[in-house]
Amino acid sequence: MDAVLPPGVDLAELAPGVWLLSAPGRFADRSEELGRTVFVRHCCPADREVALPTDQGAFVREALPAELPPGLQVQVRILPGGPAWPPGTLAAAVRQALRGRGSETVGGPAEHVLSIVVGTDSAFVGWGPARQNLSPWPGGIARLRRDPAEISRSARKLEEALLLFGIDPQAGQNALDLGASPGGYTGFLLGRGLRVVAVDTGALSPRLAGAPGLTFLQGAAHGMPLPPGPFDLLTADLSWDPLRAAECALRFLPRLTPAAHGVFTIKFFGGDPLETVARVRRQLEKGYRVLAVRHLFHDRGEATAHLQATPGAAG
């Protein structure tokens, strides 16, 4: 990574795409700064560095901090070149050791996370509030279970975005899906019990034919009459120039409910990613609050923005 670092800040590469950041101040402050970037998917505190013994049991005994809060989630990541310990096995051993100390753990999301990142010669251990890790998945690697009913892999991209951004669409709500073909987002939302108006010049998968709750408007989103709405959720994965796609998202703003959420894909198309994000963000902010822009695990040559309709601009 070629960068001019401030005094007192150091970066060391632990593995491809994984860096150890040493900096003064609190982890909470560094996490907040990293959360405003696009391409950092995950960070975790590294309170201790522990040399690796050959025995996993000895490592667990050595690695665990003396004091930990109850109800922790344990997250383990083994980096390339690290020991051949299955992450799940190591995480289970850590949870068992914590239970032996009278500290219960949880298998799913929790208020606090104990993070263990195991490298070639040592491991880094730390714990803190889950929200400061920027992602609920170790390393930001969202390995979501494939639904046999999914129309395309984009369904998992939308699922990742909803989980990461804390968007929880409810059955019976109305969603507008721009750039819907072949129907990955649409099928996922229908499966959640939403009513969906899907818009695209291309066709939807035949598997969605006659799907309850689906209205398909085949045509160009930038020129068609606006559907009546109102919509509680906007999704837009348009394979257009990203500024034109942003203008299209603004066009449908009057059909959204006040403070409706949106998931908007910013395509790079070979341009400078950060410059593209900045330009598109300025355009979207003419009608939306841009709450975050992140490069998701399931993104390919793109980033995903979390939008919220500006109160008074929608409806």
Residues acting as catalytic residues: 267
Is residue 168 a contact partner of residue 270, using CB atoms and an 8 Å limit?
no
Task: Compute the Cα dihedral for 228, 230, 235, 236 and give only its sign.
Answer: positive
DSSP count for the chain of H helices, then E strands: 7, 14
Task: Compute the Cα dihedral for 223, 264, 256, 208 and give only its sign.
Answer: positive
Query: Could you please report the per-residue DSSP string of 13-66?
Result: EEETTEEEEE-SS-HHHHHHHHHTSSS--------EEEEPPS-HHHHHHHHS-S
Per the DSSP assignment, residues forming a β-bridge with 117 are 77, 124
Is residue 301 a contact partner of residue 239, using CB atoms and an 8 Å limit?
no
Residue burial 133-170, b: 16+ Cβ < 10 Å; e: rest: bbbbbbbbebeeeeeeebbeebbbbbbbbbbbbebebe
- The beta-carbon contacts of 188-196 under 8 Å, at least 24 apart in sequence, are 188/147, 188/150, 188/155, 188/158, 188/159, 189/158, 189/233, 189/235, 190/214, 191/147, 191/149, 194/169, 194/170, 194/233
Cα angle value 173/179/181 (rounded, 5°): 95
- Which H or E run includes 293? strand 288-294
